[in-house]
Structure 1
């Protein structure tokens, strides 16, 4: 009989079978089939013309909820933030990121809601914890971004929605927090040779796991070397975070679950300080379009507990760079860089040098190879988490090519190759030195890759859709596989022996012998289709030969007889033995890999950092960016600057220069002058027509400064920049129906924030401030804002860029006595002789010194579709106003005009009341009314025109006579 080849190998199982007593059952070159405990099909059976084997699906031994996550989806990591803002201005916070299992503790500082906003932008938390004693102002501010019914935040921002939790204030107690921190098993604390424990700390009831590795005194001393224990607010927040992690572990895991030890673990505790970061609030990010996410149109795809999960990046500055990142961790590092621009001069210069190395022409080929290799690197944080849990595949739909072992082998292989490429970069000694240090260890990566390759058969795993151990790794496993492969031919022989023991007339009813995983060996007998009873069920008189019914499958009865019981005793459950042996081997491999976890994760993090620089270099090459020169002077000197987003949506972009200087920070120091010898202004006020590019210029200067502090090259021919600690904007007005602020109130709040927080190192942008109220008040507010910044002390003056249409400020000479203010406008060309209105004004988008005297608002209104008559009337009124005439007088009628309107009204009423005879209608004809004689049209016209003759009074009857003759 023809036999069918079986293509799959057995799946892992947690049950352990009996040891085999024979070395060889038979030999067969047929590959092993897959196992399926849920199917009634046997694993092995003798061939039959009435039946063919079917390939079965694999066994899922892992929890589907655990395997359902994509290992590349790093955006699903939790970020827990605890913060406390005291009434006296004290501010502290602690942050836990599950991506790297780090607890970050802030240095206590003083501030207000602006620090909270900065922290939310930079941390992007998914959970925020505050004490019950938090002020109503803080609670109201944080509740704005909590998810609404539809899953979106109540206030539309780029900050993702989070879960806000208010817990007992005792959880923020610094003494309790220190005790919790001291009990952490941190790798950063090392492994001391001597443990010192005081008598008061010893508890004989504590188990080994309950006791700290260090005594309380030692732990506190060593903990003080990592963090500032005097930052009581932040330390208390750290204690609240640890308490939250403990509650999560208790609710998600059983007490004796081994996975609970690694869940929500803290591997390191570090300090972070907001002092080295540029302060940017949500208004700045929105105005400059730094990061702009678009939520998924399907609300079910937006998980409110996961922030911006399901969202994609819209047209933004970060979006232009993101597409050049190759790895998940690289995109995460890049986003962190854009959210947290640095003010550390050395760090910024190091980033610029790294990008410059990657952009060198001689490194072009190496750069291209780097991008190809980095695309093969995956986020090892998630991979190592699956290795630790014993999950080979992150989801049931994932192929064997994407399992954790394949990812680990690729990572080790390409890490070694990337390390070699980094070493070949011309001028990349800084990158090579950092990579060859304690972060990247090529020898250890090669060791890990060899361990995985020598243990896992990837080709067989792809065929079997499961992890298969290589031949030769374990002798016992090889023998079990050999027996399993020979099972099919062996069952043919077993069937022949069973048939011999059956009476001659019943042998035809014996179909075959089969083997089922966890059931064992069975004999299959045909069933009578009419009665449903087996055609043979063994010798009933022989107790030892009793045939026990097991189940019916497709008109076949499966029996367990003494032959099958002997086989069960001799061979046991071979599949369980194979699965158990493979599990032991893979477990040993997991232990060996987990011993190298720190090296793997540090290497993965470094490749993410390198990938972020690769993205910066790729964007710099694509968009023609140049390296900025960072200086200790407080200046902004830009040559041929461009707007990175605007130039992508226009046919051609006109570059412009900008020179600004901030306060010296020292009364004895003087601000530097420009190259032409003139004093560089602190404030540059722009005027000019609408649509001329003033707002674009303001934003492009801020973007160039922002990108330089991110570590990127900038869109300019050259840029000489000093450190900027804050970028404060009054450009866009974010309105919401849920907010209680008007548009004008929002503008005032933004301006007040800039005035209260601007320093000599700040850059302030004000675009048309004061436009939300009447012209007089708006002009006064704008003039007051400019005056405030211009008259500040030399040491505290910020750099200010402003645009306004309030020309009366300059005409009234309000700011003439402030020499540190510069004026410029966007140039236009006017052709008053042009017949077509659209040809009268040409925008040049070029910044030139001096002020503009007109905003050309009427022309811009016509260009945007306003009716021509309205535009002409607006121009007339504008001309009257320019001559100082009373506009209200133009809207009142003269006495003569009033009289003529009265006559016109009387004439119209007479015409309506008149009974005009129909032409051809004569007296006595049908329809003629005797009692109401019809007036002839000529008589009616003479009567009406006589009214106008009375109004003229001058005796000039030319008009009425002309009208009579025309009518005749």
Structure 2
């Protein structure tokens, strides 16, 4: 197992199983400060060796060493940081040999494609056949290798790539590595976490789980949260709650019991009956501060008064929260896991520690002294020193009175005995007319201020000997007492961290409950059966941007189900809501498994282990491959990793190549999914060839649907109904959509003509097309203007060139206007025998079956 942390708590991981010779890669994600995800990976993989960078955080190394101490078979290997750099990682990954089932395209007519062994690469086959690619041609060997690897794993996740590179660098040095420094693998795949859904970065971006907008102020470092699922759910009031909610959105649950426990809590907190208790909890949670940071400062001896006070105030607020949650659970007769968690953390032991700190620290004195002061009555020795210090002032006045008669009158105006914590007792005088040389015998000059001079005398030495440095003794004793409290704090620190975790979880549950109440969400019925039955589902983000949103149903089931089919193919006009429908299904499933309620009338959702999407192509100059290659890699991940419990959303896959090739690829993908695990799949496409030309076998159990639209006969406008209907649409109505979005009518008319001729295979007529009367007139006017310009004998000395050019253009425009007016008069005098059709509304598709 290889773990790589580039910065903060970002984590990338890769594991290798020598029995199957496969590398599993986990994309970049955020871990907690306690490295819970790293521990989960170690427990899940049960690796014999854990490889980390030499610059790995000490806290992560400590966790790994603790794990290795519990499981002696596991060893920690710290590898040079250079093996984890991005450049070296790319080199290591690109030199890895993977199974290649592709057939190279060559120009040799005599070569006949035949099957190759799975571990033989296309480049090796070409070399064996005598075709050597020129160095640096095309993408280059490394980029081409990364494009091919992108079909196995996401090579655009930096931390994951670095972790994989470090792992491969370690494996190459082992005895079982192949010769020549190249490591052979049977495959690479995504690393799925137990009890967590696998959803990659492309899916998170396409579904708008996290999204940020550029801030109006260019110099603002923190991005502004845009309209996204996390932004909608994030009403947490504590920093620890916001961090945990972010983690919940990164890793949805797949454990049915844990999901139901979250749903139980969200249902309780969102009910009107317990609204007051929820508001009380929010007020208490606002008092929670950075307990973890304060404990860290106290443990290192760098704590201030504010650290101790902030910690105690937060713990008192935690006690309030525990009591409120306990009363809420008792009144609702409900068993809440968060209640059990808080009761276990904020128990008698932690309350005893709070009482001990409150009874020990004098907060008012500490504020005045700007250090931790101990209350009176806590320690007898400390109280005795304080009493002696308090009685010292009358004694000092008495000593000053005894010294004064023995001091010459002209040496000083006033005389006092003072005490300095670091210097002891000193005589302070306001100097008279004589200098330092005339001081009494035995007086030693120490220092002076603007008003006084200070001396050490035998009487002062006597005071120091009998009373000592009382102030330092008091401070030292208080430090010892606070050190004892620090040791007590270390004993209860795990309980405090457990309380922090419980409060963070409670904050997240209250945030999800607030979202459910605000947006009228309902609790989904969760089941282990791979089913997806949604009644009147909505897209929560799109719904916020419009006055009304048309809800739609979904009925799918993975595997071989008696009542429902596993795949739905949706067609329809451009802009009719197909993409929104596909995203809404994925979002409803996703929101249910993070523990929230869903935007629907009702929903029965079977646990989804993986969500794969082909919704949005994220192109970048740094991203290897074209847009179509990126689409292929996304679909390849789905084909390799899908199970009967997965959910796949494919939106217009194949549009990046020729229509025939795109439709053929899509048909192949559909058949592969239907013949394989049969995951719950929604295909959104404009490839009507799939059923019009029978690209798909009629025996496949696929549900064909389309988004309904309305068309008024005699009118060019199209009306979207955004309603799903269980029938096939035979056209995408691109021309009507083009007119609706402002494309010139002549362009649309030409497009319709070309489409009609191509559909009739009358391609020759496209070449025999004649110009219209308007086009001929326009061409004649242009020719007239050009001839006028060519016949002009320019004399720049006597003629104003710009004026003549303007006259030419003006004459040509007048000629055009006259010709247009003449054509208009000719058309107006012709009899009009045409009868205008009576507008009537009809469905664009024939023989349509009502979905109701």
TM-score of the pair, normalised by structure 2: 0.70
CA offset digits 1:757-808 (Å, max 9, x no partner) = 2121111110111111233322332233233334x15xx2111111112233
CA shift, 1:417, in A, is 2.7
Compared CA separation, residues 522 and 744, structure 1 to 2 (3 A): same
Aligned equivalents of 2:11, 2:157: Cα separation in 1: 19
d(CA) in 1 for partners of 2:218 and 2:92?
26
Pair 434,357 (structure 1): closer, same or farther in 2 beyond 3 Å: same
Tell me if structure 1 keeps the 8 A contact 2:404–2:415: no
The answer to which structure, 1 or 2, has the higher relative contact order (CA under 8 A, 6+ apart) is 1
Residue 347 (structure 1) shift: 2.5
Q: 2:576 aligns with which of 678, 692, 714?
A: 692
Which residue of structure 2 lines up, in the alignment, with residue 475 of structure 1? 380
Which region of structure 1 is more displaced relative to structure 2, 698-707 or 616-625?
Answer: 616-625
Distance 1:285 1:409, change over 3 A: closer
Distance in 2 separating the partners of 1:353 and 1:472: 49
What is the 5 A alignment of 1:495-534? 495-508=400-413, 510=414, 512-525=416-429
Q: Match of 1:431?
A: 337
Partner residue of 1:108?
Answer: 45
Would the aligned equivalents of 1:829 and 1:844 in 2 still touch at CA under 8 Å? yes
Match for residue 233 of structure 2? 321
Q: Give 1:448 deviation, angstroms.
A: 1.9
Query: Hey, what's the Cα distance between the residues in 2 that align with 1:465 and 1:888?
Result: 94
- Taking structure 1 as reference, are residues 845 and 513 closer, same or farther at Cα in structure 2, changes over 3 Å only? farther
Is the counterpart of residue 827 in structure 1 residue 723 in structure 2? no
Q: What is the DSSP-based 3-state SS (H/G/I as helix, E as strand, rest coil) of the residue aligned with 2:732?
A: coil
Aligned position for 1:285: 204
SS at match of 2:520: coil
Instruction: Find the partner of 1:537 among 425, 433, 436.
Output: 436
- The alpha carbon displacement at 1:476 in A equals 2.6
2:562 is matched with 672
| Equivalent residue number for residue 316 of structure 2 | 410
1:876-904 CA-to-partner distances (Å, cap 9, x unmatched) read 54455455543762575589999999998
Structure 1 residues 486, 409: closer, same or farther in 2, change over 3 A? Answer: farther
SS at 1:782 equivalent: helix
Offset from partner CA, 1:278-330 (integer Å, 9 cap, x none): 2211111111122346799999997xxxxxxx66654321232222x343443
Match of 1:772 in 2: 656
Q: Tell me the matched-pair count.
A: 689
* Alignment partner, residue 602 of structure 1: 498
CA shift, 1:377, in A, is 3.2
Q: What do you get for the CA RMSD once the two structures are aligned? A: 4.8
Query: Does the 8 Å CA contact 2:93/2:165 hold for their aligned counterparts?
Result: no
CA separation of 1:755/1:171 partners in 2, compared to 1, >3 Å: closer, same or farther? closer
Where does 1:112-511 land on structure 2 (aligned, <5 Å)?
A: 166=166, 274-292=193-211, 313-323=225-235, 325-378=236-289, 380-393=291-304, 400=306, 403=309, 405-407=311-313, 409-410=315-316, 413-414=319-320, 416-418=322-324, 420-431=326-337, 434-435=340-341, 439-440=344-345, 442-484=347-389, 495-508=400-413, 510=414
1-side partners of 2:362 and 2:211: how far apart?
45
The unaligned stretches of length 5 or more in structure 1 are 1-74, 111-122, 145-153, 175-271, 303-309, 394-398, 529-533, 665-670, 674-679, 917-926, 928-940, 946-957, 963-968
Q: Specify whether residues 282 and 412 from structure 1 end up closer, same or farther in structure 2 by C-alpha distance, changes over 3 A only.
A: closer
Residue by residue, what CA displacement relative to the aligned partner does 1:588-622 show, whole Å, maximum 9, x if unpaired? 22222323333333333233333332222222222
Indicate if the aligned counterparts of 1:357 and 1:425 stay in contact, CA closer than 8 A. Answer: no
Deviation at 1:829, TM superposition (A): 2.3
Counterparts in 2 of 1:903 and 1:800: CA distance versus 1, 3 Å = closer
Check conservation: 1:415, 1:442, Cα contact below 8 A.
no
Give the CA deviation at 1:560.
2.8
- Compute the displacement of 1:173 (Å): 12
Alignment-derived partner of residue 806 in structure 2 = none
Q: Give the Cα–Cα distance (whole angstroms) in 2 for the partners of residues 313 and 895 of structure 1.
A: 54
Quote the residue 2:558 is aligned against: 662
Counterpart check, 1:637 vs 2:572: no
Question: Of residues 18, 22, 39 in structure 2, which corresponds to 1:89?
Answer: 22
Contact 1:634 1:663 in 2 (8 A): yes
> CA separation of 1:489/1:777 partners in 2, compared to 1, >3 Å: closer, same or farther?
farther
TM-aligned CA deviation for residue 433 of structure 1: 7.0
Match in the other structure for 1:237: none
Residue of structure 2 equivalent to 1:116: none
- SS of the counterpart of 2:546? coil
SS of 2:555's partner is strand
> 2:792 & 2:370 partners in 1: Cα distance?
101
Shift of the 736–436 alpha-carbon distance from structure 1 to 2, 3 Å rule, reads closer
Aligned-residue offset at 1:428:
2.1
User: Deviation digits for residues 502-534 of structure 1, max 9, x if unmatched?
Assistant: 2112232x4655433312333444579xxxxx9
Q: Secondary structure at the match of 1:800?
A: strand
Larger Rg computed on CA atoms: 1
Residues 471 and 777 of structure 1: is their aligned pair in 2 closer, same or farther, counting only changes over 3 Å? same
Structure 1 residues 661 and 493: CA distance shift in structure 2, 3 A: same
1:19 is matched with which residue? none
